Structure 1
């Protein structure tokens, strides 16, 4: 009945397995976490509810259980280039993007939703953000983005795609709407923007032009020290 793909098969096993993978091999420095409790809190955010009435705050317990510190100067924000970010951050060794935190790692590339008046997951279809904004996945990433921005400190890195249709800094977008407004200004020393074009891709956007200029101006107006570099390698 919805236009989006249904819940990822074996979701519970994947989330719990990723949680253990994270605390045992990816980033044992976060210490012990209760992966079963984390799954229950995740599931209870959206189970037995209208799949179009899930709010970011419904994931508050999940976030509290999976939260850990993000090392200063390691935060890496991005738009329109997830696979590049994953290789660039080297799974948290160089930088710790949202997908390299425990709370981001467990949800990456998965899909899920429940149904009103039923304890089951919907494996047939889930609402897209076009169909309804307050869906389980969109609200999850909003809450994760808000949390990630609040926990980020020191030098903040932003990786943008200069070949993206519609510009490197999309508005609306997660960075524009959920991350920038949740930066803790007193904890941030400067913001470094990298604009990288796709290999063989068009050079649509660059520092000081179009949407990147909009971003630079917005951050400077907020009082941040901002630098921007094109095609950082």
Structure 2
């Protein structure tokens, strides 16, 4: 808003423009508020208690806010994962590669198999994107308030959900790599994996399953891996040796069993709520 005043100096009228800047109230950005709200809603729906969800949010946020978004390490998320160990029965661990929709529909209403996305952090952060910016700060008080110190608690770092850089050590990829590692380390007895038999190479050594989870399966804690190879009606040969590098990548102390199953049969099991063991 500007005020225009006229001053007469030596018979000449000089126009002076006085500009008054009105600073609006600075709140969390809409995208940031939506992200935090989504985190809390999904945590409470898991279900979990409110105070637990608030604690998870605080531990999660401190991992990346105000930090270099391309230099996030396992240490950043240590507090979060220390507070959130896996609790599902370790003998019911279900991995997947290139079959997210089918495996999640299958495990959604069952307590016999658990994918990473069926655990608290996996469920809450699935499909979300986030990052921080080095040194980013924002004042969340009212514009009429006065800052008392540079360490005023109303000065906070921000969460960004847009314009996050695609770099190797970004907070999203690092989170999922740590989560996948710990998920594999939690597995015991028999574990399962659902692979896509329609792909030329159902097993990919460079996928999260092949590159992160397989190397972290610990024998003798894990003694067998069951491969569920989902095919069209006429599927591929189903042996662990036929799945490219799987048998080579898998520790020889871990047994491997392959079961071919038609996709339509899995979908029927989902529809009819067939018990896990009866589907393959």
Query: Is 1:14–2:49 an aligned residue pair?
Result: no
CA offsets, 1:158-203, max 9 Å, x none? 1111123x62112311112221222221221311001113x58x96
Partner of 1:88, secondary structure, is: helix
Partner of 2:258: 228
Match of 1:137 among 172, 177, 191: 172
Query: Is 1:182–2:216 an aligned residue pair?
Result: yes
Alignment of 1:26-37 (within 5 A): 34-37=52-55
1:47–1:114 contact (8 Å) kept in structure 2: yes
Equivalent-residue separation in structure 2 for 1:49 and 1:108 (angstroms): 22
2:188–2:223 contact (8 Å) kept in structure 1: yes
Equivalent-residue separation in structure 1 for 2:242 and 2:37 (angstroms): 41
Partner of 1:93: 111
Match of 1:124 among 148, 159, 162: 162
With normalisation by structure 1, the TM-score equals 0.81
Q: Tell which deviates more after alignment, 12-21 or 36-45.
A: 12-21
Partner of 1:173: 207
Q: Tell which deviates more after alignment, 170-179 or 31-40.
A: 31-40
Larger RCO (CA under 8 A, 6+ residues apart) = 1
Partner of 2:145: none
CA offsets, 1:20-65, max 9 Å, x none? 21134xxxxxx99711111111111111111111123311111121
Query: Between Structure 1 and Structure 2, how many residues are aligned?
Result: 213
Q: Decide whether aligned partners of structure 1 residues 37 and 218 sit closer, same or farther in structure 2, where only a CA change above 3 A counts.
A: same
Partner of 1:80: 98
Larger Rg: 2
2:94–2:114 contact (8 Å) kept in structure 1: yes
Query: Is 1:216–2:247 an aligned residue pair?
Result: yes
Partner of 2:245, secondary structure, is: helix
Partner of 2:185: 150
